[in-house]
Structure 1
């Protein structure tokens, strides 16, 4: 990747961070891999200073670990890590959904329905062609979950949800690669969730979302951290 010398540094840092974030999510950069600045510059372009800032951003999101002695490395990705992330999401996202259902209007409901439809279509596509549609499917999952809390009125909750979901993405993509996702079950649960949202069934919707998130932890299915 090449950048013009007059590009704003913040934009460069953001682009570099997104490139590394994506490669961590897709397992190109494996857990516990040491991230050497010179190697990253050869791979992605950018200056050493910009990469240090980009890796610091990723460390704040929990995808990279920083050490004064050892530098930067990709954060671990154990089963315990997955369970910790999903349990936090199972508390944060239903809370955001309840607040959104209290505050959200018809436009918000439309966004939820539209994001659910996009997830359904990309799920069908990724079943037929996992490599070709993995990015689309992963992004559709992110948008669907973000839409559920988007009307909550709390920028901090929205930010926490986005960071936790970002940390869980690589687990979902790994499960996709390994064929461990029950798409029929996921589709049925998501459909019931959206129906509960539209019917204003707050408790039912929140519990469905909690179950949807926790299924990989509780053993109710073979999902990946939805």
Structure 2
């Protein structure tokens, strides 16, 4: 088991279990539409019946798991229509959030964006040369961190929450492209550098345009 069963803090257990399941859904270890049985998940990941059920409810709220009437839980589907819908929602949310962040962000925010971009560029260079699971996981987390840093000065906790939810739903599509060798890293790095420059110059129109292009390219390489 990944986690010991004896823990006093139920919330901590649920968060740890959710992180493990979220990762395995993103990497395709838990496949789209796969049924998720509590006992089998407990044997694999640890936790109690209660903590695993709460974990699945949390992932259901995030859109990664679906609860079916009297049929338990299953991994959410990953069809072409799902991809298009996630892409649409991400573009609309992140356009507004980035514009607000550029308007409201201070020097400290700029520093966080620069740091996240630097970490992403390093992760991209590593995974491009050796896309093993560990490097892929570190690259995926760097993508996530840069995406979040761009909008975290938008001033809307609800918008940030929505962006995180739909970003997490998009991760398995991007990781599938990575496994298939279909990501153009040089183009990504150029795009992200231009995006950073536009953000630092407070050029909202250019930044938003590049961001949308990056989201589309990121999911349909």
- TM-score class normalised by the smaller sequence: over 0.9
Displacement, 1:210?
1.2
Partner of 2:14: 13
Distance 1:110 1:2 in 2: 36
Displacement, 1:216?
5.6
Check whether the contact 1:3–1:12 (CA below 8 A) recurs between aligned residues: no
| Secondary structure of 2:78's aligned partner | coil
Partner of 2:26: 25
Distance 2:149 2:138 in 1: 16
Pairing 1:205-224 to 2, within 5 Å after superposition:
205-215=207-217, 223=221
| Secondary structure of 2:155's aligned partner | coil
Check whether the contact 2:30–2:75 (CA below 8 A) recurs between aligned residues: yes
Displacement, 1:3?
2.6
Structure 1 stretches lacking a partner, 5+ long: none
Displacement, 1:71?
0.7
Displacement, 1:113?
1.2
Once superposed, what is the RMSD of the aligned Cα atoms? 1.2
Taking a change above 3 Å as real, the CA distance of residues 61 and 40 of structure 1, as seen in their structure-2 partners, is same
With normalisation by structure 1, the TM-score equals 0.94
Partner of 2:113: 112
Pairing 1:32-111 to 2, within 5 Å after superposition:
32-111=33-112
Displacement, 1:105?
0.9
Displacement, 1:114?
1.2
Aligned residues: 219
Check whether the contact 2:18–2:56 (CA below 8 A) recurs between aligned residues: yes
Q: Deviations over 1:177-208 (max 9, x none)?
A: 11010111111111111111111111111111
Distance 2:44 2:61 in 1: 22
Distance 2:125 2:140 in 1: 13
Displacement, 1:6?
4.1
| Secondary structure of 1:181's aligned partner | coil
Distance 1:202 1:18 in 2: 34
Check whether the contact 1:108–1:151 (CA below 8 A) recurs between aligned residues: yes
Distance 2:54 2:7 in 1: 18
Structure 2 stretches lacking a partner, 5+ long: none
Partner of 2:164: 162
With normalisation by structure 2, the TM-score equals 0.96
Distance 1:38 1:107 in 2: 46
Q: Deviations over 1:92-125 (max 9, x none)?
A: 1111111011111111111111111111110000
Partner of 1:180: 182
